[in-house]
Every structure is written in C-alpha cells, then in structure tokens.
Structure 1
Amino acid sequence: MGGKKDSNSSNIHSHCFKPFISPNPVTSFNPVQRFPKIDKTAFVSQFSSVIGDVTIRNNVYVAPNVSIRADEGTPFYIGSNTNIQDGVILHGLLNKKVSSGKERYSIFIGDEVTIAHGALVHGPCYIADEVFVGFKAIVYNAIVGRGSFISYNAVVTNGVRIPPGRFVPPGANIDSQKKADALSPVPKDDKEFAHEVQRVNQEFPASYHLLFGKNRCSCGFAY
C-alpha cells in the first residue's frame, strides 16, 4: 500500500529469469561432467534447458521451452546468429557422430540456421549454414547442405545427405539418397521467407538482454 516496496520483489526478480543450465550427469558412458559454453551475446530463455557439452556461439537465440540435452550423444555445437524456436528438442544417440573439420559432434548446427517451432533435431546430425528447418520437422541421422529448406512436418533421416540449396516439401519423408538427390532447388518465396525469419530472430538476443537486464554471466544465468 502507498507505494511500499515488497520485500520479496528483488528476490523474485533475481530468480525469475534463470534458464536451466547444467553439466551432464555422470554415467557409465559419460563419466566426465562438462558444462555448456554459451557466448555472452547469446540469449537462452528462462523456460529452456541446456545440459552438458554444448557450445552456443554469438547472437544465438534460444526461445522458451527448448530442450538442448547433451547427456547421451555429445557434444553439440550451435553456430552464430542461429535461432532455436519454441518447443525444439535437440538430443543425440550415444557414440554416433558427424564430422566438421577435425572435430566430431553428435549435433552440429551452423551459422544463421533456423530451427522452427516444435522441430526435433536428433544426432547424429549435421546442419550446414543458412538452413531452414520448419515447424514440427524431424532431422535425424542426416547431413543437410547449406541453404536447404526443410518444410513443416517433413522427415529427413536414414543417413541421407541433402545437397545444398534443396527444398524438402511439406510432409515429405526423405529416407533414401535417391529421394534426396531428386529434390528441387529452394523456391524464391521460401528463400525470402527464411531470410526474413533470420532477420527478425537476429534482433532478439540483444533485445531480450535489455528487457531482462544485463546482469548475466557468460553461462546465461541472471545474478
């Protein structure tokens, strides 16, 4: 009353905006705990979790209700300016990896990638730069070439390699290399849509940091 400050308000504020960021649990198959490495310019929503050996590079946006769980297959890599939208799941199979240069990953996601609402990316999986993965799509045990567009409800699996710049139609099941090689180039409208999604989401990390305050450590926790 009368403008009196709630004595608990500062405590509530300080604990409201903490995502669940932790090392992997110790298991027989992953006996060493490894913490996520999150660039200070990236933003991880307070309603999301990042577990284990996960590298998140600069200006990445991780929306609410995302699960990035490197407790079985590991490590994960998420490149610069990538956005991981609401409800996305990232997980990987034990000891199944893909190569990027000299390194091997359970999941590798390049720069300026969009993983749209509700999609599942399951390792072993390699997603190159500027790929769009649509709503509720599944990418599992696959390599997706640069600039490709995977439409909503599509499935890409069974060890296929999607050539660069190819379009996976809505609801398609790309489970053989013959199907992958037959895919058409990304239509102009879909390419423009993917670029616009990137433009919008690249503004979110800095904007959300301003909204929730700058008192965060490099791991993403609020002080």
Structure 2
Amino acid sequence: MHLPNPHKQHPKVSKRAWISETAVIIGNVSIADNVFVGPNAVLRADEPGSSITVQSGSNVQDNVVVHSLSHSEVHIGKNTSLAHGCIVHGPCRIEENCFIGFGAVVFDCNIGKDTLVLHRSVVRGVNISSGKVVPDGSVVTGQGCADTLEGTTKDLNEFKRSVVRANVDLVEGYIRLGEES
C-alpha cells in the first residue's frame, strides 16, 4: 500500500524494486532499484519535513518499521539489510553494506559503512565508525561505548553479503513472476 502523507507527498518506488502487498509506504519515501520490502514492513515519512531514502540493493524485511520524525531523515545506504522486526527511527543514517539484526532498534544515530548491529541490540544517540560490530543484545547509548566496538570479521562480512544476494535474487524472481502473469 502506497499512500501520500498529509503534505501530499507520495512515495517514489522504482519499478525494479519489489514491495510486498502487505507493506505500507507512506509519504516522502524514495525506494531505488533492487530493493526488497517484505510483508508487513512499514516505511513512514508523514511528519512535516521528514524523509526516508532506501538505496539500491537494500532489503527491508518482514515487520520492519522505519519512521522519520519531523524535519529529519532516515537514510539507508546501498546493499544494506534491515532484518526481521527491527526498528529504524529518524533521524538516522545507515551507510552502505550494513546489517541491522532481528529486533534491533536504532535511533538518532549515524552508522558507518560495513557495520553490523546484531540481533536485539539498541543503538541511540551515537556515531558508529565504519567496519564495527555491535554484539547481540548490546545497548550502545554513549559515544565512549561506540568508540570501543570491535571490528567486523571475514565471516560476518560474508554473512551480510549473502543476505543482500538472497534478497536481490528474490526481487529479480518476484519481478519475473509478475511479468509472466
């Protein structure tokens, strides 16, 4: 479901993206090529001056909530995965090649490229450098804590690349299926 916001801004969705019929996209939202938006995901930029951008190759999985407060932006960089049930609340900037895990919450933060925020973690009010890992269940709400995060590993990097590949394959498959109908 694609809906305008009260300011008559309509979502802009690439014809080369795949959006589940049960996803809700409201307002000033821009979705690029090869983006997968799963069942029951909500992307909502309906407050004054709010926006959401999802760049190419990214995926917004089942039950994800992305919301942008008034006069703020949510930016999701290329090839980034928002895994099942996570919440991304703006203002928030997530750079390319990131992974936000199941049930994680990120708000009012900047997350550098190639970073993983693992399952059930909370990240708020900090800047996380590129190439870091927020461990499962962590609470990162102080810059000192963010600055001491360890770097990612080869296995974790391969994991996040595999999630992106799987979801781009889904986009292509669903688009082909729709063209055959």
Shared fold by TM > 0.5? yes
| 1:182 matches 2:158 | no
Matched with 1:40 is 15
| 1:155 matches 2:122 | yes
Cα RMSD (Å): 1.2
Aligned AA (1:47): T
Alignment counterpart, residue 90 of structure 2, candidates 110, 120, 123: 123
Matched with 1:9 is none
Q: Specify every segment of 5 or more residues in structure 2 that has no aligned partner in the other structure, as ranges.
A: none
1:70-219 to structure 2, matched below 5 A, reads: 70-72=45-47, 74-95=50-71, 97=72, 106-158=73-125, 160-213=126-179
Q: CA deviation at 1:199?
A: 1.1
Q: Specify every segment of 5 or more residues in structure 1 that has no aligned partner in the other structure, as ranges.
A: 1-19, 27-31, 98-105, 216-223
Secondary structure (helix, strand or coil) at the match of 1:179 reads helix
Cα deviation code 1:57-107 (max 9, x no counterpart)? 111010111001111261110000000100000112222x3xxxxxxxx20
Q: Determine if contact 2:35/2:57 at 8 Å carries over to the other structure.
A: yes
Aligned AA (1:42): A
Matched with 2:38 is 63
Change (3 A) 1:137 1:123: same
Give me the identity figure in percent: 37
- In 2, the alpha carbon distance for the partners of 1:188 and 1:155 equals 24
Q: CA deviation at 1:210?
A: 2.1
From the CA coordinates, give the structure whose radius of gyration is larger. 1
- In 1, the alpha carbon distance for the partners of 2:68 and 2:14 equals 22
Q: CA deviation at 1:214?
A: 6.4
Q: Determine if contact 2:133/2:152 at 8 Å carries over to the other structure.
A: yes
Normalization by structure 2: what TM-score?
0.96
Structure 1 runs of 4+ aligned residues shifted over 6 Å read none
